[in-house]
């Protein structure tokens, strides 16, 4: 099979790690161009050393590269604000776009949940790092027991949060919360992100709290463990930190959820996750970035096989 050429816009940590993954791991994708706006960025310099066509001229520079015509898929690893402009331009050239920002123009995609559902979409959104780590778990619970409320807390090292991540904090919470409902299946979703300044840097940790209807605990537990194995196929460092916890919420002490305007009873499921990065380019503690780039590449490979 002839490899499909791709371009990456954004020469920061996420873009650079994605470039390394495509070159080292993908059997169906091939780097066509690497795009930034700072000619002195480490990412652009690395791409140049690797012999990849580069430009510091942003989206306009990409369009002017001779290889642009051959590029079928474009990853955007910039910011939510910039992505709106990038997508508008790329659609004019019929490029398939994979959005690694929280712009959420296209449908949300979580590979083990709905990776085959939006293969034909011109633009797909990879939600957020916290979403990629936790929404599979919400979905795994919801396919056994309807989830009334899903809340996730993503804790990442401050050192793994670059300027793009920091600029998108509001969009992170909004996009992830929406995807917990749209993809995870919860009636209501809430997302919290914590930037931890601890030294040495801490590995990504994620907590998932779900309030669902009463159901077979063994079936829920099995569903969660199967989902963890599914995610591990493309993020080997994804794992449960401890056993799944269950708590029965009875009518004598219901949980009040202000956002939903009522009291709820049922089963509270608590899941604690850890995401260790593969350290292809980024440090192993930056699992938050690794799971995004891994999910994006997995999605691009599925799309490439249809082109």
Say what the pLDDT of residue 159 is.
87
Q: What is the token pair recorded at 207?
A: 């907590």
Cα three-residue angle 106-38-66, rounded to 5 degrees: 70
CATH of the domain at 117: 3.40.50.720
H-helix or E-strand spanning residue 15 = helix 13-25
Say what the pLDDT of residue 80 is.
85
CB neighbour list of residue 159: distance below 8 Å, 6 or more residues apart: 201, 283, 285, 286
Q: Looking at the structure, do residues 174 and 231 belong to the same domain, yes or no? A: yes
Q: Looking at the structure, do residues 78 and 174 belong to the same domain, yes or no? A: no
CB 267 within 8 A of CB 214: yes
Beta carbons within 10 angstroms of residue 110's beta carbon: 24
Split the chain (307 residues) into runs of 10 and give each run's mean pLDDT: 93 93 96 96 95 97 97 94 95 96 92 94 94 98 97 92 75 91 96 92 96 96 98 97 96 87 91 94 91 96 94
Q: Looking at the structure, do residues 278 and 152 belong to the same domain, yes or no? A: yes
Is the C-alpha dihedral spanning 241, 189, 113, 87 positive or negative? negative
Rounded Cα–Cα distance for residues 127 and 281 (Å): 22
Q: Looking at the structure, do residues 95 and 180 belong to the same domain, yes or no? A: no
Q: Looking at the structure, do residues 263 and 145 belong to the same domain, yes or no? A: yes
Q: Looking at the structure, do residues 156 and 276 belong to the same domain, yes or no? A: yes
Rounded Cα–Cα distance for residues 163 and 159 (Å): 10
Say what the pLDDT of residue 141 is.
98
Domain count, the chain: 2
| Residue with the two structure tokens 């619970």 | 141
Say what the pLDDT of residue 157 is.
92
Clarify whether 129 is annotated catalytic.
Answer: yes
Q: Which domain holds residue 13?
A: 4-127+290-304
Rounded Cα–Cα distance for residues 64 and 121 (Å): 25
Q: Looking at the structure, do residues 61 and 122 belong to the same domain, yes or no? A: yes
Rounded Cα–Cα distance for residues 131 and 249 (Å): 26
Q: Looking at the structure, do residues 115 and 218 belong to the same domain, yes or no? A: no
Q: Looking at the structure, do residues 118 and 174 belong to the same domain, yes or no? A: no
Among candidate residues 82, 129, 147, 244, the one labeled active-site is 129
Residue 80: which region, alpha, beta or left (left: phi > 0; alpha: psi -120 to 50)?
alpha
Query: What separation, in Å, do the N-terminal and C-terminal C-alpha atoms of the chain show?
Result: 11
CATH of the domain at 169: 3.30.360.10
Q: Looking at the structure, do residues 135 and 278 belong to the same domain, yes or no? A: yes
CB 100 within 8 A of CB 171: no
Pairing mode of beta strands 262-264, 255-257 = antiparallel
Q: Looking at the structure, do residues 84 and 145 belong to the same domain, yes or no? A: no
Residue 71: which region, alpha, beta or left (left: phi > 0; alpha: psi -120 to 50)?
beta
Q: Looking at the structure, do residues 57 and 99 belong to the same domain, yes or no? A: yes
């Amino acid at each position: 099979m002839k490899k499909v050429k791709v371009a990456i816009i954004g020469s920061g940590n996420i873009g650079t790690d994605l470039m390394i993954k495509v070159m080292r791991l993908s059997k169906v994708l091939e780097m066509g161009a690497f795009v930034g706006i700072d000619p002195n960025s480490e990412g652009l310099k690395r791409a140049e050393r690797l012999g990849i066509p580069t430009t510091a001229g942003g989206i306009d520079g990409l369009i002017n590269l001779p290889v642009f015509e051959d590029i079928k898929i474009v990853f955007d690893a910039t910011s939510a604000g910039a992505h709106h402009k990038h997508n508008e331009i790329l659609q004019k050239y019929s490029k398939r776009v994979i959005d690694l920002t929280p712009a959420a123009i296209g449908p949300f995609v979580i590979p083990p949940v709905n990776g085959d559902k939006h293969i034909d979409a011109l633009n797909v959104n990879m939600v957020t790092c916290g979403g990629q780590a936790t929404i599979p778990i919400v979905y795994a619970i919801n396919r056994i027991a309807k989830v009334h409320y899903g809340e996730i807390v993503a804790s990442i090292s401050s050192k793994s949060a670059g300027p793009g991540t920091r600029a998108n904090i509001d969009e992170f919470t909004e996009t992830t919360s929406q995807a917990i409902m749209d993809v995870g299946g919860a009636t209501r979703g809430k997302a919290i992100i914590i930037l931890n300044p601890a030294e040495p840097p801490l590995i990504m940790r994620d907590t998932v709290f779900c309030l669902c209807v009463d159901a077979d605990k063994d079936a829920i537990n099995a569903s969660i463990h199967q989902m963890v194995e599914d995610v591990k196929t493309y993020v080997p460092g994804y794992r449960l930190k401890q056993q799944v916890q269950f708590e029965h919420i009875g009518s004598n002490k219901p949980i009040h959820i202000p956002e939903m305007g009522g009291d709820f009873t049922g089963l509270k499921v608590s899941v604690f996750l850890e995401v260790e990065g593969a350290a292809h380019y980024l440090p192993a503690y930056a699992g938050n970035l690794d799971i995004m780039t891994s999910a994006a590449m997995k999605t691009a490979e599925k799309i490439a096989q249809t082109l």
